[in-house]
Amino acid sequence: MVAVIGLITVLLPPYDGPWWVIGLAVLVLGLSALVFFASRLRGRRSWLDPLAAYLLFPYAALLHDAAGAGAGGSSSGMTALLLLPILWLAITGTPHQLWVASALAVLTFAVPIVLVGPPGYSWGDWRRAVVWCAVALVIAPVLQRIVRDLVRQSRRVRIANDRVERLFDDAPHGVALLDPVGTIIRVNVSMSVMVGLEPVDMVGHRLGAFETPGEDRIQDHLGRLMFRRGESHSTECRLRDSGGNDVNVSLSSTVVSDSEMGDIVMVNVVDISDRRRYLDRLSHLADHDVLTGLANRRRFETELERHLDHCRRHGPSGALLLLDLDNFKQVNDSLGHNAGDQLLVVIAGLLRRSIRSTDVVGRLGGDEFAILLTDADQADAARVAELVVERVRTHAATLDGVARRVTASVGAVTFRAASEHAADALALADMTMYDAKEAGRNQVAVLTEGDVRGPRTSARLHWQSRIEAALENDRFELHLQPIMNIADGRISSAEVLLRLRDQDELVPPARFIYIAERVGLMPRVDAWVVDKSLELLARLRREHDPEFEFEVNLSGHSIGSTEIESVIVSSLATHGVDPSALILEITETAAVGDVALARDFAERMTDLGCAFALDDFGAGFGSFYYLKHLFFDYVKIDGEFVAHVHESQVDRTIMRSIVGIARDLGKRTVAEFVSSQEILDVCREEGVDFAQGYLIGKPVPYDEFVERFMPSATAVARG
């Protein structure tokens, strides 16, 4: 355009330039234009790009001549056109091309002087040539550097803006920009996907409009944020998506000042629905029985203690029912544990439907259940107990085989009756329940208010005498359950499990351990178990495997006991067992009343050379507390997270987390409840060290254990 304006200026009269000079200038300008457009069509730089600028030098020389007085010369005003190609190359060209432009600028003046000479072109035009050469050589490179710096800075700004845009749009969590009152200015894709709308459909609406109806947390959050602008604020709330589903989110916000738009609130929105479900499940698992979903023993005892506090403040009210299934062991022995578990689940459902929503039903262990009636007198307690017995009997009548013989024995105690006897309500209910069993089972026994005689059979004292007799007459038995080293498939250790021989029945520990704990016999029982276990371990190491190890359970009531400690020390010496072969196992849910005392005990046993295992890890929120404050060498993953790990991604994630934490702390892991090859494969893939469960082997007496597992101890590689 500048070149064309220069041409028009020359064409306007008056002028004395020859017509052929102007015609040649027009031709050169047209050629320069063609070269320019041709270079643009190529899409990339080539020799055509500077050629268009080079052609402007002869064009400027022709106009310089045509516009001069007479035949051109120094009076021509078209000299300024030389700036056009020089600036053009300074902006778009290279330093080499500027050198060429300098040469062409000199030639533009030198050629007419040489060819035409005075008087048309005086020798003074050399000065003008020198000046234009200086412009091309000095000023143009400076301009070129300035332009290149501007281009680089513009590119950086553009790249930075593009990066910010991509970070905003592609952020894995939601991001929203709001004005100070909470109206959405912009949202990214993740935020729109979370709500189920397009970004454009959200702009202009209040963020609080997408919150679950009835909640106002977002507005409160923004109010606190604007009140204290210099700080970041976080909160949790629920958004409702376009499908009507609630999404649990965490908001983290800050105020950003903008010179043009004023204050802008930037909100990071993270979907925490999975984390919330995970925490809710952990909370549920901590307080509920894994199989039936009822309150577990710890939760039930918490509710019972809360009700007892209420009774102490407002007087005794309500009742406690203890239920035990008759002949349930025969179901497990004849039909298998799966059938027994299924029956327990059904019984749990019957119990739920037999009480009010304000009452509490829990599974205390095995086939024992408890019901807390928060507002009931003696007649109400008897009526609910009779209803439970009838429903269990009616359901069992519909079953086949030994399951038809399953009934319920219920002991019922009102809290008024318990206060009259100044005794523990749960212990009284247990004694009364055994009154029902000894009355022929499938019965209800109620501790009558005002009856100072108490339960007829005094079951608690009866069990106490049975435990004492078992200790004195060696009627306890030890069974061994194998534990396999997953790395090499070798049965390298076993867990020692206690049984009580009662005539022809082997009574599992769930039936009597809690009574032993209540009457203070547990340290004696644990002492017997430790001594007998070390006797068997010494024999097994001597005759079969000198590196074999035993895991021996200790009750929370025995931790720190001087009796237990002295028995461990003396038995190790008596039987000549290496202390490192003894692994003392403490259940994570055990009532460790004095953590400092337990820590001192664990420290002394560790100094002695014994190892410790934390059982049922993950069953309660105390897991990590115990792991931090007590000495443990092994972490036994609770069976709840193992039994379905091959089917549940959540269980597998929890297992992977436990294994990772244990490995980082230098602990080894044991997976319980390994009942199938699929579960074992997952345990191997996730890095679990040892496996225990029915796939590896059931608990059996010592002789059977040796016969079944020791001959193949070095060749049991599974999978």
For every residue of 103-165, DSSP letters joined together read: HHHHHHHHHHHHHT-TTTS-TTHHHHHHHHHHIIIIIHHHHHHHHHHHHHHHHHHHHHHHHHH
Give me the mean pLDDT over the 254-266 stretch: 79
| Contact between residue 659 and residue 669 where contact means Cβ atoms under 8 Å apart | yes
Highest mean pLDDT out of 97-101, 370-374, 457-461: 370-374
Q: Is the pLDDT of residue 468 over 90?
A: no
Q: Is 489 helix (H, G, I), strand (E, B) or coil?
A: coil
Residues 6+ apart with CB under 8 A from 451: 417
| DSSP output for 48-103 | HHHHHHHHHHHHHHHHHHHTSSSS-STT-SGGGGGHHHHHHHHHHS-HHHHHHHHH
Pick the CATH number of 473-709 from 3.30.70.260, 3.20.20.450, 3.10.20.30, 3.40.50.300: 3.20.20.450
Q: Is the pLDDT of residue 49 over 80?
A: no
Give me the mean pLDDT over the 151-176 stretch: 81
Residues 6+ apart with CB under 8 A from 142: none
| Contact between residue 551 and residue 699 where contact means Cβ atoms under 8 Å apart | no
Q: Is the pLDDT of residue 183 over 70?
A: yes
Q: Is the pLDDT of residue 534 over 70?
A: yes
Determine the pLDDT at residue 72.
43
Determine the pLDDT at residue 480.
95
Bridge-based pairing of strands 690-692 and 668-671 is parallel
- Pull the structure tokens for residue 127: 């000065």
Nearest CA to 515 among 440, 465, 448? 465
Q: Is the pLDDT of residue 519 over 90?
A: no
Please tell me the distance from the alpha carbon of residue 186 to that of residue 200, in angstroms, as a whole number: 8
Selected residue with higher pLDDT from 413 and 622: 413
Nearest CA to 618 among 665, 679, 666, 670? 670
Q: Could you tell me the pLDDT band of residue 457, with boundaries at 50, 70 and 90?
A: very low
Sheet order of strands, 184-187 included: 184-187, 174-178, 262-271, 246-258, 233-240
Give me the mean pLDDT over the 21-32 stretch: 80
Query: What percentage of the chain carries pLDDT values higher than 70?
Result: 86
Determine the pLDDT at residue 117.
63
Q: Is 412 helix (H, G, I), strand (E, B) or coil?
A: strand
Determine the pLDDT at residue 568.
92
Please tell me the distance from the alpha carbon of residue 427 to that of residue 714, in angstroms, as a whole number: 48
Highest mean pLDDT out of 284-298, 396-410, 466-480, 609-623: 466-480
Instruction: Give Cα separations from 567 to 413, 466, 532, 601 (angstroms).
Output: 40, 23, 11, 13
- What is the DSSP code (8-state) at residue 212? P
Q: Is the pLDDT of residue 76 over 70?
A: no
Angle, CA 366 vertex, CA 671 and CA 680 arms, to 5°: 20
Q: Could you tell me the pLDDT band of residue 715, with boundaries at 50, 70 and 90?
A: very low
Q: Could you tell me the pLDDT band of residue 67, with boundaries at 50, 70 and 90?
A: low
Selected residue with higher pLDDT from 64 and 660: 660
Q: Could you tell me the pLDDT band of residue 461, with boundaries at 50, 70 and 90?
A: low
Please tell me the distance from the alpha carbon of residue 615 to that of residue 480, in angstroms, as a whole number: 16
Determine the pLDDT at residue 458.
53
497 forms bridges with which residues in the sheet? 479
- What is the DSSP code (8-state) at residue 585? E
Q: So where are the chain's domains? A: 2-162, 171-271, 281-455, 473-709
Determine the pLDDT at residue 478.
94
Give me the mean pLDDT over the 471-497 stretch: 92
Average pLDDT over the chain reads 82
Give me the mean pLDDT over the 654-662 stretch: 90
Give me the mean pLDDT over the 179-190 stretch: 88
237 phi, psi to nearest 5 deg: -155, -175
Q: Could you tell me the pLDDT band of residue 459, with boundaries at 50, 70 and 90?
A: low
Please tell me the distance from the alpha carbon of residue 238 to that of residue 242, in angstroms, as a whole number: 13
Q: Is the pLDDT of residue 560 over 50?
A: yes
Selected residue with higher pLDDT from 210 and 290: 210
Domain 281-455 has CATH 3.40.50.2300: no
Q: Could you tell me the pLDDT band of residue 591, with boundaries at 50, 70 and 90?
A: very low
Angle, CA 249 vertex, CA 247 and CA 253 arms, to 5°: 145
Give me the mean pLDDT over the 77-96 stretch: 76
Q: How many residues does the chain have?
A: 719
The end-to-end CA distance of the chain, in Å, is: 83
Determine the pLDDT at residue 598.
72
Give the rounded distance of the alpha carbon of 121 from its chain centre: 88
Least confident of 142-146, 496-500, 618-622: 618-622
Would the CA dihedral through 637, 641, 643, 644 be positive or negative?
A: negative
Q: For residue range 118-132, what is the model confidence (pLDDT) as tens digits?
A: 666 666 666 776 777
Determine the pLDDT at residue 589.
45
Please tell me the distance from the alpha carbon of residue 684 to that of residue 669, in angstroms, as a whole number: 11
Q: Could you tell me the pLDDT band of residue 587, with boundaries at 50, 70 and 90?
A: low
Determine the pLDDT at residue 70.
42
Helix (H) or strand (E) holding 595, with range, is: helix 595-608
Please tell me the distance from the alpha carbon of residue 132 to that of residue 18, in angstroms, as a whole number: 26
The pTM assigned to this predicted structure is 0.44
Q: 3-state SS of 319-343?
A: EEEEEEEECHHHHHHHHCHHHHHHH
Helix (H) or strand (E) holding 359, with range, is: none
Bridge-based pairing of strands 476-485 and 490-502 is antiparallel
Please tell me the distance from the alpha carbon of residue 265 to that of residue 182, in angstroms, as a whole number: 8
- Burial class of residue 66 (count of CB atoms within 10 Å of its CB; 0-12, 13-18, 19+): buried
Determine the pLDDT at residue 604.
86
Selected residue with higher pLDDT from 423 and 660: 660
Helix (H) or strand (E) holding 247, with range, is: strand 246-258
| Contact between residue 482 and residue 705 where contact means Cβ atoms under 8 Å apart | yes
Determine the pLDDT at residue 245.
86
Class of domain 171-271: alpha beta
Highest mean pLDDT out of 287-296, 380-389, 423-432: 380-389
Q: Is the pLDDT of residue 302 over 80?
A: yes
Give me the mean pLDDT over the 637-652 stretch: 88
Q: Is the pLDDT of residue 718 over 90?
A: no
Query: What percentage of the chain carries pLDDT values higher than 90?
Result: 28
R_g (Cα) of the chain, nearest Å:
46
Highest mean pLDDT out of 48-62, 200-214, 583-597: 200-214
Determine the pLDDT at residue 716.
38
Bridge-based pairing of strands 668-671 and 549-554 is unpaired
Q: Is the pLDDT of residue 620 over 60?
A: no
Q: Is the pLDDT of residue 542 over 80?
A: yes
Q: For residue range 563-573, what is the model confidence (pLDDT) as tens digits?
A: 888 999 999 99
